[in-house]
Structure 1
Amino acid sequence: MQVKNPILIIVLTLLLFYLFTAVSYSQTSESIADAIAEKVQVLTQNQNLDNVYLQTSKTIYETEEDLWFKGYVLDAQSFIPSNRSKILFVQLVEDASDKVVWQKKYEIENGFVNGHLFLESALIEGNYTLSAYSSNSFTKEPGEFYALKKIKVVQTINQNPTVVPVEKDSIIHFTSFPEGGQLVSGINSNLAFKSVNSKGLPVAVSGTLFENNTPLVDFKSSHAGMGLLTFTPDNNKKYHIQLSEPTSDKIYAIAPVASSGKVLRLLRNTKETLTFKVTQSDGLKEERVYLRLQIRGVVYSIATGLLKKELTIKIPIKELPQGIAEVTLFNENALPIAERLVYVNQEQQLTIQTELDKSSYTTREKAKLKIKVTDQNGQPIVAHLGLSIYDGIYQNKQDVKNIQTHYLLSTQLKGNIYNPVYYFNEQNKNRNQALDLLMLTQGWRSYVWNEANLKELGNAFKPIIFEEIKGKVHLQKPDKKATTVIGEKGMTVFSADESKGSDFMLTDTTGVFTIIPNDLKKGEGGYTYIKLMSAQKPKYTMTIKDFSFETINNECSTKTLLYPLAKIEKRNTQVVSPFTERESINKLKEVTITSKKKGVVFRDKYIGKLDSLYKAQNPTADFVCHDNVLNCELHKGCPGDRKRPIEGEKYTTCDGLKWLKGSGPCGGYFISGHCNEITYHYPELTEAQLLEMFNIVMIEGYYGKKVFYEAVYDEVTITDSTPDYRNTLFWKPDIITDDKGEATISFFCSDINSLFFGNIEGVSGEGLLGREAFQFNVKKSE
């Protein structure tokens, strides 16, 4: 059996009135441990899944701005940048109407995407969702979808905060969760609880646990409607909970109390170890039990020990990655009997330190930023970072999603999570206790990598969008009475940019061919063309159709989009500029540029080239005789007196010309009819007609890359009277630290007098995640 990490058979401390050490294991216990480990890893070994996260340059945009984004495509288990997928399919959806207003393909390079899109002036104000899909992250199952980023689009930014009333909700959903999964009579146990309203937002509560209608334990929530109470249940008694705040007469039942069984409790969670206590009912026989710890489908340890009455188990976790660990207790028959989630190793992350050369700048002043990245041991580390520096008024603090909350919480647990950034803020002193409550109340059944959930998915990877596009060559006018063998056909692949060269490929014997991601790169920023190389007769044509976005739209309609729930605020937490002299920027009305040239306007210069080639080949029957008459009726049969008409030249057209009796057919006298002078134009063909004429098909390539504009001021340009209203001072999605973990960037401030924010996020080659924020003032120069 191959495993990603060795199974650690841990020597355990047994506790039954006194301590002694278990130092020997039978071959049978080792084989059972292997089988328990294999249960999970067999289910994940063929998944090959990626996990996509989107970082944007800010969270509030005005129309007619570029939305800059960075796509992280990481391995779903290790969080290492993935090379599985080459194409990121991106959509921008208006939330109110669920209408797709933008969709393009972007190239994934070594697990990252550097992308942008332009927000048209026609976009209505409101909330939008930027979504991303790849062939290895967007699958038929599961039914939840996480790879999205919420943004707000406005016509003009408003720096006056608005009061957001908190809607009253009298509906309370109160649920309790026994630690380990069950309450057992006579065994002291923890009972976690969670209270939310009808919108899934937490409700602070207090109440009482009653035993046979007698108050037993008073309790109150400690964080986000969650809390914990401890008692020793008795299966011969009845229990219920009643809330005193908010006041309610409703009675809430708790889980049934088993007459006998085993209970799993977490005693301590330190940097070094997890300590558990397993307790079983009096009268149960002594047996060997197993405790498995797995993180994202990888089994890191299996502890085993002999359980009599109580058993204390310590699991070393120092070398484990940060994240949610699922701990499952198995009996001697390898059947699961208790389970719980534990969050481990919050320190296993990127520590990103930022240092500006000043805390405050004047308008148009140059700023320098030093970046230092280390691992949990303080050692410098190479990391791939994305950095944005922008006017703080464009930050929507109601958005509580970042790279850590996405990868470490939201995508690991089913259901929306309330204010997940709380658990990663070191200033919150009770964050570890609050995080453990989340683990208890969200439940192991919600863990994406839970064995039961993995079984539902199956161990076969089921992609629903594909990076390769199929095409087919066929006869233009097939003979239905005869069977025609297409055979291998050659074709060239190229773009309008001749410097990118061309490639040659063959169809199979049935005429089928495949467009691969590299072909889309050839047409980046435009189109990729495929020209069929075949004889004129019989005439062959090609058909090709990309159903990617159509498939995405169909599948999205069946999925639940999950996004972290924002922290409840009495007032909008949008940042207000602390400076009163903020300029009011008046946008010019939209200017539409039209061409004087009438007729078809081609989107790609290569189509224009085909149009010119078509005209140069003169495929029409038009001609001009020596008298400069277009399509002269008298000279149809006189080749020597004919020439080809020229685009834009003036010619005569006549009606009623005929030869006099006894003269002709190519010389002599004729009677003139009615004549006019015209400017000659070739018949105008559409793109489709031109492509069909030259036996070419085209597909859209990757959306073109764009360089972020960075202003540079020197002694001359700093006095330029042209206003600089850049609200995003810097955007760079591909900062890579050196072997010292360092990087230095510089940028120039604009004319905006405001408080600016910096946001930096990233990942290392080992899968460590991290983020950091900073801020500084920009004031008008005196």
Structure 2
Amino acid sequence: MKFLHLFLLSWILILPIGAQNNSVVTDQLAEQIHSVSKNNAADLVYLQTNKSIYETEEDLWFKGYVLDAQSFIPSNRSKTLFVQLVEDASDKVVWQKKYEIENGFVNGHLFLESTLIEGNYTLSAYSSYSFTKEPREFYALKKIKVVQTINQNPTVVSVEKDSIIHFTSFPEGGQLVSGINSNLAFKAVNSKGLPVTVSGTLFENTTPLIHFKSSHAGMGLLTFTPDNSKKYHIQLSEPTSDKIYAIAPVASSGKVLRLLSNTKEILTFKITQSDGLKEERVYLRLQIRGIVYSIATGLLKKELTIKIPLKEVPQGIAEVTLFNENALPIAERLVYVNQEQQLTIQTELDKSSYTTREKAKLKIKVTDQNGHPIVAHLGLSIYDGIYQNKQDVKNIQTHYLLSTQLKGNIYNPVYYFNEQNKNRNQALDLLMLTQGWRSYVWNEANLKELGTAFKPIILEEIKGKVRLQNPDKKVTTVIKEKGITVFSADESKGSDFMLTDTTGVFTIIPNDLKKGEGGYTYIKLMTPPKPKYTMNIKEFSFETIDNKRITKTLLYPLAEIEKSNTKVVSPFIGRESINKLKEVTIISKKKGILFRDKYIGKLDSLYKAQNPTADFLCHENILNCELHQGCPGDRKRPIEGEKYTTCDGCKWLKGSGPCGGCFICGHCNEITYHYPKLTETQLLEMFNIAMIEGYYGKKVFYEAMYDEVTITDSTPDYRNTLFWKPDIITDTNGEANIEFYCSDINSLFLGNIESVSGEGLLGFDNFEFRVKKDR
């Protein structure tokens, strides 16, 4: 097993191999977390959109990343992604469709109707292995803003000051022990969860001991040696407050775990125990996302330094737990490791600025932390910067490496991944210290609460059942196996034949939904006309999602607090009003006839050809002549769209009848004949067919191309998204080359790239350029 190999590396580094029972303890410590994590195999979903602000009557393009929750490798567990767009103000679902997951990725889009109300919306995604009854937290969402017309000068609303302060302190390792020098981290937030810059004093009894102030996002650290014979409290001087904040109680004796250093190669810990405690063997376990990567052991007298190698440990939050000789946890701490272990994305444009409609060339190169080229799956969007919501601080790295790993909303997580922030490592360690290990999703106790087995609540497969339409209630009905054909309106996709089980139950699988992509999948029951059998098919997936999502806590990163209410202005003025094209709906030329796809039209034609109605024409070409109703003579079928005569008050003349001779009619009209209009439901029932909605159809993103002739075309080009491609794959040199054409919009354009490799490395990068009118 992987953790055993790493255990030996740690052990050899610290001390010679000990007694055999030490190995038994280490195996036990590794297996106890492995056993509770292996049965909870899950996926994590992330949504990348082409921008974050949209106008109505636009396409929203998105890419879904469905990655294994432990390794971040693209997952093949789920085949269907259920997507909803929810209006935040009303919690109303305004869009929901199913999309195909292909090798861990989804290429999707949706149309934003003109009827959408301006405001904030949430795009949410669910799969069988990512949306479960537990946990209560839900992360797979993307916040977007919808407006009728984009405002060039959006005002940034400053955050109102909040006088309510929540101040909490966190001893490193979990406890303060008398006589042992210890770290005490703290965090201050307001009632909205936003950080508050604070300063204050730690008092020992009534004597000021240490003055302190927060160093990042309301967090900070102070170091002192506590004495359990004395009392400690904290009082804040900024913001001014008379409130007294107690700190954790000081234990009279015990053990303290401290992190001394965190480098690319090694974590160094110091373990200290109180005077008078017996010498004993201790164990230090490091696990990331439910996988144990190292267990080190040593003999603790007064102090012990333990070093854990990080060579084969992935980037992310590590939970480090100290166990005593009886394998009981006595101290615990979160540490963020291998922050440099990521995809490095380099972008190179052939110019820094372009003229309208000019061709641009972009070179992308992806490497690992050692500079080696990487084959990676990229999503790239290039769009007008005015459609960027600067309050959205979520990307693929913050989502997978922080947000989905910790319970609670994280303030401005992008700060910790920006190499320009020189103190980001220290700030990230403060985040780890002030979360508490029970906030770690992969904490052993949290995993145990999830249960011993993973249980999906939304199913990709759809169940159906065949039954007799009019069963004899006095006799037990035996359905036996029945034949079913599965197909779509696209005959090129072929059809599949299946048999029900002996009770009439059958299953529609994701591959059947793919057959009906962009339309409907049809299921035809292959049984004789008599006795009459019917099918019951009902999808519960979105119904289940709606019932469960209201019980979930939606977690989304908190945006950085704006310093002022300054206005954000697009760098170039003169944006013309844009005439947007309406979404096109195709209807039949024949008034009032609208079909969802050509197969329903085929059923309607077949119904008319069979002429199941009692309508007829007599030899005088009168429609449904009342005098010839029961006559077996020459009768013709009426034809759709032809003109016929209808008469009433008809009677036979003397010496005529009952089926021949002369007659007269009181009142006659000429009409255009139409067959009775049947609904889709009636047509399907008539032919013993059921239909279910297939995967939402794919759509190709429009890319403009200009040459010497078309570049002078007077038709305006107001594309605000110049390029969107969710499925770029770099070559063996880690490279990809992109070409696109600028539009007529005179503005600052932004490029966003998000990526994942086959080994689970993540990357994010952005770039910008300007487009000017050619004067």
Shorter-chain TM-score: what band?
over 0.9
Per-residue CA shift, 1:387-408, capped at 9, x if unaligned? Answer: 0000011111110000000000
Aligned equivalent of 2:5: 6
Unaligned residue ranges in structure 1 (runs of 5+):
15-20
Choose the corresponding residue for 2:599, options 591, 598, 606.
606
Q: Which residue of 2 aligns with 1:172?
A: 165
Q: Contact 2:587–2:594 at 8 Å: present in 1 too?
A: no
Identify which of 567, 576, 582 aligns with 2:569: 576
Alignment partner of 2:19 out of 26, 30, 40: 26
1:564 and 2:564 aligned? no
Using the alignment, how far apart are the partners of 2:502 and 2:199 within structure 1? Answer: 74
User: Which residue matches 1:428?
Assistant: 421
SS of equivalent to 2:40:
coil
CA distance, structure 1, for counterparts of residue 574 and residue 440 of structure 2: 51
Contact 2:10 2:295 in 1 (8 A): no
Of residues 589-598 and 740-749 in structure 1, the stretch that sits farther from structure 2 once superposed is 589-598
Give the distance between the partners of 2:698 and 2:298, measured in 1 at CA. 59
Q: How many Å separate the matches in 1 of 2:681 and 2:183?
A: 70
Q: 1:765 to 1:13 in 2, by over 3 A?
A: closer
Give the superposition deviation at 1:319: 1.7
* C-alpha contact 1:10 1:302 (8 A) present in aligned 2: no
Is the counterpart of residue 58 in structure 1 residue 51 in structure 2? yes
Deviations 1:506-541 (CA, angstroms, capped at 9, x unpaired): 111111111100000011000000010101111001
Aligned residue for 1:553, secondary structure, equals helix
Corresponding residue for residue 405 of structure 1: 398
CA distance in 1: counterparts of 2:702 and 2:663, whole angstroms: 70
Which residue, out of 119, 133, 138, partners 2:126?
133
Asked if 1 retains the 8 angstrom alpha-carbon contact of 2:156 and 2:566, the reply is no
- Does the 8 A contact of 2:264 with 2:338 survive in 1? yes
Instruction: For 1:270 and 1:529, locate their aligned partners in 2 and report how far apart those are by CA, in whole Å.
Output: 59
1:734-774 deviation per Cα after TM superposition (whole angstroms, max 9, x unaligned): 00000010000100000001110000001000000001100
CA separation of 1:552 and 1:4: change in aligned 2, threshold 3 A: farther
Contact 1:130–1:150 under 8 Å retained in 2: yes
The CA deviation at 1:597 is: 3.9
Q: Which residue of 2 aligns with 1:745?
A: 738
Alpha-carbon distance in 2 for matches of 1:315, 1:620: 83
* Secondary structure of 1:198's aligned partner: coil
2:313 matched to 1:314?
no
Task: Work out the CA distance in 1 between the residues paired with 2:41 and 2:498.
Answer: 29
Shift in CA distance, 724/5, structure 1 to aligned 2, threshold 3 Å:
farther
Partner Cα distance (1:236, 1:76) in 2: 47
Change (3 A) 1:450 1:266: same
3-state SS of 1:36 partner:
helix
- Structure 1 residue 454 and structure 2 residue 447: aligned? yes
Q: Deviations over 1:438-458 (max 9, x none)?
A: 000011110000000001001
Aligned-partner residue type, residue 240 of structure 2: T
Q: Distance in 2 between matches of 1:642 and 1:230?
A: 104
- Counterpart CA distance in 2 for 1:274 and 1:216 is 31
TM-score of the aligned structures, taking structure 1 as reference length:
0.97
Aligned to 1:202: 195
Q: How does 1:92-491 map to 2 (within 5 A)?
A: 92-491=85-484
Paired residue type of 1:703: Y
Kept after mapping to 2: 8 A contact 1:13/1:311: no
Give runs of aligned pairs for residues 374-773 of structure 1, distance below 5 A. Answer: 374-571=367-564, 575-585=568-578, 597-773=590-766
Given that 1:3 and 1:41 are in contact with CA atoms closer than 8 Å, whether structure 2 keeps it comes out as no
Find the aligned partners of 2:281 and 2:734 in 1 and give their Cα distance. 48
Distance in 2 (CA, whole Å) between partners of 1:675 and 1:239 is 104
Contact 2:356 / 2:772 at 8 angstroms: preserved in 1? yes
Contact 1:94/1:100 (CA < 8 Å) preserved in 2? yes
Aligned AA (1:62): E
Task: Tell me how far 1:57 sits from its aligned partner.
Answer: 0.2
TM-fit CA distance, 1:594: 8.1
Q: Secondary structure at the residue paired with 1:8?
A: helix
Aligned Cα RMSD in Å?
1.7
CA contact (8 A) 2:398 2:414 kept: yes
8 Å contact kept, 2:57–2:581: no
Residue range with higher mean Cα deviation, 673-682 or 532-541: 673-682
Change (3 A) 1:675 1:4: farther
1:582 partner amino acid: R
The answer as to 2:34 corresponding to 1:41 is yes
State how far apart, in whole Å, the 1-side matches of 2:48 and 2:678 are.
43
SS in 2 for 1:438: helix
Name the counterpart of 1:17.
none
Task: Say if 2:468 and 2:533, in contact at 8 Å, map to a contact too.
Answer: yes
Closer, same or farther: CA 473–13 of 1 in aligned 2, 3 Å: closer
Task: Measure, in 1, the Cα distance between the counterparts of 2:4 and 2:493.
Answer: 45
Give the whole-Å Cα distance in 1 for the aligned partners of 2:341 and 2:583.
Answer: 51
Whole-Å separation in 2 of the counterparts to 1:665 and 1:423: 96
Amino acid at match of 1:638: C
User: What amino acid is aligned across from residue 311 of structure 2 in structure 1?
Assistant: K
Paired AA for residue 145 in structure 2:
K
Q: Which amino acid aligns with 1:291?
A: L
CA distance in 2, matches of 1:586, 1:635: 61
Query: Which deviates more from structure 2 when the two are superposed, residues 68-77 or residues 675-684?
Result: 675-684
Q: Distance in 1 between matches of 2:318 and 2:734?
A: 29
Q: Distance in 2 between matches of 1:616 and 1:503?
A: 27
Pick closer, same or farther for the CA change 1:573–1:618 going to 2, 3 Å.
Answer: farther
- 8 Å CA contact 1:395–1:575 kept in 2: the answer is no
One-letter amino acid matched to 1:238: K
Mapped to 2, the partners of 1:463 and 1:591 lie a distance apart of 38
Deviates more, 1:323-332 or 1:492-501: 492-501
Q: Which amino acid in structure 2 is aligned with residue 520 of structure 1?
A: L
Q: Output the CA distance in 1 between the equivalents of 2:418 and 2:674.
A: 70
CA–CA distance in 2 between the matches of 1:65 and 1:588? 9
Q: Contact 1:161/1:573 (CA < 8 Å) preserved in 2?
A: no
Distance 1:388 1:743 in 2: 14
1:594 to 1:531, Cα distance in 2 relative to 1, 3 A: closer
Match of 2:408, SS state, is coil
Structure 2 portions without partners, runs of 5+ = none
- Measured in 2, the distance between the counterparts of 1:671 and 1:779 equals 83
- Which whole-Å CA distance do the structure 1 matches of 2:727 and 2:642 have between them? 54
Distance 1:476 1:748 in 2: 60
Would you say the 8 A contact 2:524–2:690 is kept in 1? yes
Aligned residues of 1:356 and 1:368 also touching (Cα < 8 A): yes
| 1:170 maps to amino acid | S
The residue identity in structure 1 corresponding to 2:139 is Y
Code of the aligned partner of 2:650: L
Q: Does the residue aligned with 1:453 lie in a helix, a strand or coil?
A: helix
Deviations 1:219-240 (A, max 9, x none): 1000000000000001000000
8 A Cα contact 2:156 2:567, kept in partner: no
For residues 466-517 of structure 1, what are the alpha-carbon distances to aligned partners after superposition, in whole Å with 9 as ceiling and x for unaligned? 0000011111112111111111110111111111111111111111111100
